[in-house]
């Protein structure tokens, strides 16, 4: 299976993620109906995600939780950013991105 990369379209990424979630579900021998009941979604939503269609983020979170995969997102979205990218020039945690414009004296 290909690696998810920045150059891919959203549709390509959704298709890969959906396929990987389906593979994990099948690897755990969990039928769609059982997963749907366990997470409070209808089976159509799960099948749409697995087919690479656009679903709500909250639905994806429920599915990942139901498959015990939610914690795998921690590596991607860890709280600490590498190389100090999350620290402002004053040494404080950044709260917003800058526009790149240079402010001139008033």
- Quote the number of domains for the chain: 1
Q: Give the separation between CA 20 and CA 60, rounded to whole angstroms.
A: 13
Note whether residue 86 is domain-resident.
no
pTM of the complete model: 0.73
CATH number for 58: 1.10.260.40
Residue 1 lies in a domain: no
Residue-number span of the structural domain to which 26 is assigned: 10-70
- Give a yes or no: residue 36 inside a domain: yes
Instruction: Supply the pLDDT for residue 75.
Output: 80
User: Taking the chain (106 residues) in consecutive chunks of 10 residues, what is each chunk's mean pLDDT?
Assistant: 89 96 96 98 98 96 95 79 58 68 61
Q: Please check whether residue 97 lies inside any domain of the structure.
A: no
Q: Is residue 50 part of a domain?
A: yes
CA–CA distance, 22 with 85 (Å, rounded to integer): 35
Query: Does residue 79 lie in a domain region?
Result: no
From residue 65, alpha-carbon distances to 68, 82, 104 in Å are: 5, 27, 49
């Amino acid at each position: 299976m290909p690696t998810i990369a920045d150059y891919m379209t959203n549709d390509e990424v959704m298709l890969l993620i959906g396929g990987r979630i389906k593979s994990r579900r099948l690897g755990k021998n969990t039928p769609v109906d059982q997963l749907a009941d366990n997470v409070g979604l209808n089976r159509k939503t799960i099948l749409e995600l697995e087919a690479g269609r656009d679903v709500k983020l909250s639905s994806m979170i429920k599915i990942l939780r139901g498959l015990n995969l939610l914690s795998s997102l921690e590596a991607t979205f860890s709280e600490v950013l590498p190389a100090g990218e999350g620290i402002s020039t004053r040494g404080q945690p950044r709260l917003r991105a800058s526009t790149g414009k240079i402010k001139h004296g008033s």
